[in-house]
Structure 1
Amino acid sequence: MSKREKPLHSLIAGSTAGAVEAFVTYPTEFVKTRSQFSGKRESPLAIIRNTLRTKGVAGLYSGCMALVVGNSVKAGVRFISYDQFKHMLADSEGRVSAPRSLLAGLGAGMMEAVFAVTPSETIKTKLIDDAKSPNPRFRGLMHGTATIVREEGIRGIYRGLFPVMMRQGANSAIRFTTYTTLKQMVQGTMPAGQSLSSGVTFGIGAIAGLVTVYTTMPLDVIKTRMQSLEARQAYRNSFHCAYRIFTEEGLLRFWTGTTPRLARLVLSGGIVFTVYENVIKLIGGREST
């Protein structure tokens, strides 16, 4: 008899995991985003050093609340979507093959991109871009969001929707497939009914994050450029953005920010899956099917 996550509990566990992960790993997201803007290239250490000197520790958390709120919603949508898609695609014994897990993850990624990721990441990116100026215009999440909507309309917080959908679809497909496959392999070597320890869950999640980074990095760079403050003047669309990066800055520019994103997603994968599994256990969120 297989176990299935209850939808409400899956939403609660996913949202909690997303909020915790976003806050803990935010400085790496800040550094990654700053390194991907066009203009002067800076190493991660140089960005951290300059930010601490000019803005203090608080500077490394510019735009943080946008990501915490967005990541909480995103993770909730991601897990509840993935669990539902996975249940629909599971075989009679409740197992999901790698191709079907890939499909479920792709669907979950598309859902989270539309309902959570694009608005929160567009706002976060604009806040980080604005914060690097000597006289920032935005006074925080609420003021920044209101200003963006007033000046650009709803489209202003949905810029970069296409690359975000592509990135999130690929992210979730690869991450969930890697995690589910490794989890099933490990469980296959354990006595029936025995749960994975938090350490093993963290390790499997971290490996899933590692694989995800290198395969989806170009989409992340394009997404960041399309959500920057200068995007409307610089790029006609995502394909034009990719073309300009390739012809003007070279192929390797698509992997700019890999180190801080790698640090974040390895930690993220471990934190998210570990918190999720433990919250599900705590609230008794799995039911027999």
Structure 2
Amino acid sequence: MDTRNLDLDDYEALPPSASTTAQMCAGAMAGIMEHCIMYPVDSVKTRMQSIRLAGVYRGTYDALIKMVTTEGVFRPVRGIQAVFVGAGPAHAMYFACYENMKIVLEKQLGHGPTAHGIAGCTAAVLHDAVMNPAEVVKQRMQMFGSSYKSCMQCFARIWATEGPRAFYRSYLTQLTMNVPFQAIHFMVYEQMQDAMNPLRRYDPRSHVISGAVAGAVAAAITTPLDVCKTLLNTQELCVLKQDNTIRGLPQAMMAVYRCCGFRGYFQGLQARVIFQMPSTAISWSVYEFFKYIMSAQNGLNIA
């Protein structure tokens, strides 16, 4: 059977026979690959956003070298287990929600940035609900002088001393950051795809470039909120001397400004962009690859 005359949109939308489980598996693999490969840079970003270490690192490379030389070669990957556990289910829900919401919204609003942005925002709500506890654990493990020996010990101690609410202290801030982040991310990605890959064929080059550009733009714009999220997750002692607990975004914003001034909102900007460009590119290319494989198995046109 010649499949070259089949509708090209079948690949982009995933085959009708592809179950939600298959979509979630593709998303889970994309999330795990993205976070684990780029985890050392994520550790550097967390360090550079630290209020305690403001001004210590001259840049991303300097921070990485100092972490390795003073704390050991494996220090940049400390806490990676939390991401491995959290990223799979979080991204499974994220991509499955996006794919299904995009189909529904495009029928109502047409193919365009509005439908893609709303679908991305909806996906972010589910993603962050699953990922937030893992974010808290990994950032506590990433901090300088962290006393936690393992992710499990970290989780248990936070639960015992701060209660379950500690794992969602930054959730609203995470959403405040990720809703615009994902809206920008998906809109830029889809616009880049319209320009570079209008037929929506499987094209690794266009997926990588589109993902990298989308991640860089969204990361740069939302960095101030990410700095506040890091403070809410880590509850740094140097800040807690004046505030017993940093409880929400307004308090975090005031604490950052009080300690570091306006420049404090852009701590780790370089590391965040450097992290997001390849990580978003990896996530989209891996996800699109699995879409390609599923389409191929169902005899769709993917040439």
How high is the TM-score relative to the length of structure 2?
A: 0.85
* 1:66–1:141 contact (8 Å) kept in structure 2: yes
SS across alignment from 1:233: coil
Query: Which of 242, 259, 283 is the equivalent residue of 2:270?
Result: 259
Shift of residue 55, structure 1, vs aligned partner: 2.3
Q: Is 1:198 matched with 2:204?
A: yes
Corresponding position of 1:125 = 139
Aligned CA RMSD, in angstroms, stands at 2.2
Q: Is 1:112 aligned to residue 127 of structure 2?
A: yes
For 2:219 and 2:52, the matched residues in 1 are separated by 23
Counterpart in 1 of 2:71? 55
Q: Which residue of 2 aligns with 1:212?
A: 218
Query: Deviations along 1:45-80, whole A, 9 cap, x unmatched?
Result: 342222212322210111111122222222212101
Partner SS state of residue 227, structure 1? helix
Q: 1:196 to 1:285 in 2, by over 3 A?
A: closer
Aligned residue pair count: 278
> Structure 1: where are the runs of 5+ without partners?
none
Give the conservation status (yes or no) of the 8 Å contact 2:173–2:229.
yes
3-state SS of 2:30 partner: helix
2:158: which partner in 1? 148
User: How far does residue 163 in structure 1 lie from its aligned partner after superposition?
Assistant: 0.7
Q: Secondary structure at the match of 1:214?
A: helix
Sort the Cα spacing of 1:87 and 1:236 in 2 relative to 1 into closer, same or farther, 3 A. Answer: same
Paired residue type of 2:161: E
Shift of 1:40: 3.0
Residues 286/100 of structure 1: CA separation in 2 closer, same or farther (3 Å cut) = farther
**Residues 1:18 and 2:10 are matched in the alignment:** no
Aligned-partner Cα distance in 2 for 1:12–1:166? 27
Alignment of 1:239 onto 2:246: no
Task: Quickly say closer, same or farther: Cα 1:147–1:235, change in 2 above 3 A.
Answer: closer
Structure 2: distance between partners of 1:285 and 1:147 = 48
Alignment-derived partner of residue 272 in structure 1: 283
AA at the equivalent of 1:96: H
Q: Could you tell me how far 1:247 is from its partner in structure 2?
A: 4.1
Runs of 4+ in 1 over 6 A off after TM superposition: 285-288
Q: In the aligned structure 2, how far is the partner of 1:169 from the partner of 1:236?
A: 20
Give the fraction of aligned pairs with identical amino acids, expressed as a percent. Answer: 23
Q: TM-score, normalised by structure 1?
A: 0.88
Cα distance, 1:13 vs structure 2:
0.7
Answering whether residue 110 of structure 2 is matched by residue 99 of structure 1, we say: no
